[in-house]
Structure 1
C-alpha cells in the first residue's frame, strides 16, 4: 500500500500510524516529539520560545513530513515573520498578515484563535426563538457549546443543572418543560450572546522568559455540582508574577445524595486528573521547575488527605491514594470559600457575571504576592468518625462438614424423642429385641445421654480419650476428678471434695 485510503474502518489508524512511522526516521528529537505529540489528526498545534527556534522547527517539519508524502499547508502564527517567509500557497490567509487584520481568526479544536492579537474567543450562534421548550430542544442547545478547556464552565453548568432537573421531573422528550425550568432557561439563553465579547490571552506571560512556574488547582463542591480549576503562576526574570486560568472542569453531583465532605473529596480527585492532563501537555515543551499546589475550603478533606488512606473507608481511601500520587499531602492548603475561584464553577455564573469576574479568570489576588502573605492555615481536626475503616475481629471455629442433626430442632424434648425413635430403629435393623408401642422412660434417658456424649466429644475429646484409656491425665479438669461413665460414655466429674 502506497496511499492512505480514507473512508474505510481503519483509516484513522492508518493516518496516525503513518505520522508515527515518519517520526522514527527523524534525527532531531524536538521535531520527532512534535510529530508524535502535537498533531491532532491532520492539524499541528505547536510552538517555540523564539522566532529563530520556530523557523528551524517549521523547516524541519516541512522537510521531514514531505518525505512521507505529507505536504503541510495553511500555516498560521502569532509571529508574522514565521508566515511571510513562506510561499503564499502554504499560508492560511496571506492578506491578513499584510494588513494586520486583528479580526482574522482560525478554528482550533472548535475555539477561535486570533493570530494577530494571539487571543482566543468563542463563536456563539444566535439561537432562534421557540414557543415550546422540550427536553429534546434543551439537550440540543446544551450540545452546541464546545469548550474543551473549561473556560465557560460556570455558565455551562447552569444549563447542565437545568437538564438534570428535567430528568428528575420525569419529563418526556417532546413534552413541554415545567414553567420554572423554562423560565430559568429563557433568562440564561438571552444572555449567551454576551460570550462573543470574551477574549482570552493565549500566552501565559509577557515576552520575558519564565524562571519559575507553579500550577495551582482549586477545588470546591456544592449540593448540585463539584468543580476544579487549574491556574498557572509564572514568574519572569524581573520578578513579575502573572496568573492565568489554564483549564477547568465541572461534574454534576450524583442523583443519590452523598455528604458534602465526600463531594469535596470528589472535587479534589477531579482536580488531580485535570492537573495531570495539564502536566502531560507541558511534557513535550521546555519548561522550568514546576511546583504543584492544591487548594480547598474543606477542613474535613484536609484531615483525610493528611492521614494514611488505610484508616478510611473504601470511598475515601481509594480517592486519597490516587490524589497523593499526584499532589503530596504537604502541598494541600486551605483557602477561604469567598476566595476560592472553583466556587464559581460549582455553583454557576450567568454570562453577564462571568465576563468581568476577576476571581475566575485570574484567581485570588493574593496568589500573585509573596507566599508568606497567603492565607493562614487552620488547625486540622477530623470529626468524621463515620468514614473511619471498621476494624473486623475474626474468631476461628471448626465447623463440621455436615450440618449437626440437633440444629434442626428448637425444642429439647422433641429432639430427645426423635433421637430415641432413631435408636429404637437402629436396634430393629440389628435385630435386637426392643419394646413396642410408646417410648419407655429408659429409652428417653438413653437418648439424652447419647446427645450429651456427642456434644462432649466436640469439646472434650482429648480428655475422654485419655480417661477411657486410663492413661495419666494432667489436664485442666484434674482438680475436679473427671471420669468416664461406663454405661453411658459420659464424662463426669467427682468434684473438689472427692479430689481431697
Structure 2
C-alpha cells in the first residue's frame, strides 16, 4: 500500500477565497499585540495587501517609514515598492503611473483612472458563452465606483443572461452577442477618464449624497464640495435589484424601492461621517421621490416594510445631523445609470464627475437653514432642464493643489507588501 504523504502550507496561500480574510486577521492580530500609537493607526491603513496613508507634512513620511517597516517586519511582512506623490527622492519608485488597488494612479497629476481589461484591448469576438461573459464583466475592477454608470450595464446584462437558463459553456444567442457588443463599445476610451484623487483642500467641505432606485438598480453617488464651491466625485455605489422585484412581490411598490435607496444613502452618509469625524461641515442626502419624503416627514404608514426603514432613516438623520432634500429626477446624477451613457459623455459632460451645476450655490443656504427640516421652502428649486442636453465643454477652474492632507487626501504614500508574505 502506498504511503500517503501530507503537505502543509507554511504561509497563507495567495489567491484562495479565504486569503484576504486570513491576511487581514493576521495583520490585525499582530497590530493588536503591539502597544504603540503607530500600530493603532495602521489598523485602518491597510486594504488587503496595500498600505496607504496621507500626511500633512511630507517630511513625516521619511520619519515614519522606517518605523512602519520595522513594525511590519516583526510579523515577517516586509513592505516594498513605496510610492508617493510628494516631491521626495528617498528610495521611492519614480513618479509616473502606478497600479493602485487595480486602478492606475498618476502620481504626477495625482489622478486615478480605471484600467481597460486586457481582453478588450485585444479582441472580444471570442466572448460568446456565459462563462466568458462573467469573466469579462468581473474584470472591470472599480472599488470606488468611478465609472458605475458604465459597469452597471454589464451587470444588468449578466442578470438578463442568467434568466435564460443556458449552460456555462453553451453559446449565447446572436441577439445577446450583439447586445454585449454594444455594451463593450461604450467602454472605448475608458482609460481617458481621469478623476482627481485629492477631493478637497483641507478646509471643512460639504458632503452631498444622491440616491436613486428603479426596478433594475439601486445607486448612490457622493460628492465633496469645498468652501470655494469646487465639487468632485468621492465615491459611488451600485447594486442590481433582484430580478422583477415589482412583479414577484405585489406589495413592493416603486416608492418602497425609492425608500430603500434613501436608506442606503443614509447608511453610506453615516459610514463616511464616522470614518472621518469632524471633517464635513454638512452632510446632505438628495433623492427624487416625493412619496418617500412624505413617509419620512410624517412617519405614518400601514406597512411594516415602510415603518422599519423610516425609523432607521430618522435615527441616522438625528445622530448624524443629516439634511434630506428633494430634487427633480433629471437633476440626479445617479439616474445616468438608466440612460446608457458613454465614456465620451462622461469626459465631456461634468454632470457625473462633478455633480449638478447648481450644487455649489446650495452650500451656504443649506448651512444657514433649519437642519431638522426635510425641505426648506425658501431654497430655490434646482433647475428642471436636463443636464445631459448641455453640450457645453468649458472647463471648470481646477481644484487648488495643496502641498499636503486627506480623505483621498493630499500627500500620500503607498507601499505594497511583497507577495511572499501573503
TM-score, normalized by length of structure 1?
A: 0.62
Cα deviations across residues 246-293 of structure 1 (Å, max 9, x unaligned)? 11111223323142211111211222333344335435xxx5354221
Contact 1:306 1:330 (8 Å CA) reproduced:
no
Aligned pairs for 1:222-237 (under 5 A) are 222-235=214-227
Would you say 1:189 and 2:174 are equivalent positions? no
Measure, in 2, the Cα distance between the counterparts of 1:14 and 1:198: 32
Max Rg structure = 1
Contact 2:193 2:343 (8 Å CA) reproduced:
no
Q: Using a 3 Å threshold, how does the CA distance of structure 1 residues 74 and 337 change in structure 2: closer, same or farther?
A: same
Contact 1:161 1:252 (8 Å CA) reproduced:
yes
Cα distance, 1:325 vs structure 2: 3.0
Cα distance, 1:376 vs structure 2: 7.6
- What is the aligned-residue RMSD (CA, Å)? 3.1
Partner of 2:128: helix, strand, or coil? coil
Aligned partner of 1:279 among 266, 269, 273: 273
Aligned to 2:390: none
Contact 2:111 2:197 (8 Å CA) reproduced:
yes
Would you say 1:249 and 2:237 are equivalent positions? yes
Aligned to 2:393: none
Aligned to 2:293: 302
Aligned to 1:143: 138
Partner of 1:187: helix, strand, or coil? helix
Aligned partner of 1:105 among 93, 97, 102: 97
Partner of 1:47: helix, strand, or coil? strand
Aligned to 2:207: 215
Contact 1:150 1:248 (8 Å CA) reproduced:
yes
Aligned to 1:166: 161
Count of aligned pairs = 348
Aligned to 1:50: 57
Q: Using a 3 Å threshold, how does the CA distance of structure 1 residues 63 and 171 change in structure 2: closer, same or farther?
A: closer
Measure, in 1, the Cα distance between the counterparts of 2:331 and 2:57: 36
Q: Using a 3 Å threshold, how does the CA distance of structure 1 residues 75 and 262 change in structure 2: closer, same or farther?
A: same
Q: Using a 3 Å threshold, how does the CA distance of structure 1 residues 80 and 172 change in structure 2: closer, same or farther?
A: same
Q: Any stretches of 5+ residues in structure 2 without a counterpart?
A: 1-8, 247-251, 367-373, 379-422
Measure, in 2, the Cα distance between the counterparts of 1:45 and 1:372: 33
Measure, in 2, the Cα distance between the counterparts of 1:312 and 1:293: 28
Quick check: 332-341 or 4-13, which moved more? 4-13
Q: Using a 3 Å threshold, how does the CA distance of structure 1 residues 25 and 168 change in structure 2: closer, same or farther?
A: closer
Cα distance, 1:78 vs structure 2: 0.6
Identify the structure with bigger relative contact order (alpha carbons < 8 Å, sequence gap 6+). Answer: 2
Question: By percentage of residues, which structure has more helix?
Answer: 1
Contact 1:245 1:362 (8 Å CA) reproduced:
yes
Would you say 1:77 and 2:65 are equivalent positions? no
Aligned partner of 1:318 among 288, 295, 308: 308
TM-score, normalized by length of structure 2?
A: 0.73
Contact 2:149 2:341 (8 Å CA) reproduced:
yes
Measure, in 1, the Cα distance between the counterparts of 2:311 and 2:341: 32
Partner of 1:116: helix, strand, or coil? coil
Contact 1:215 1:230 (8 Å CA) reproduced:
yes
Partner of 2:54: helix, strand, or coil? coil
Partner of 1:332: helix, strand, or coil? strand
Measure, in 2, the Cα distance between the counterparts of 1:291 and 1:24: 37
Contact 2:31 2:43 (8 Å CA) reproduced:
no
Aligned pairs for 1:234-383 (under 5 A) are 234-235=226-227, 240-254=228-242, 255-257=244-246, 258-282=252-276, 288-308=279-299, 311-328=301-318, 331-371=323-363
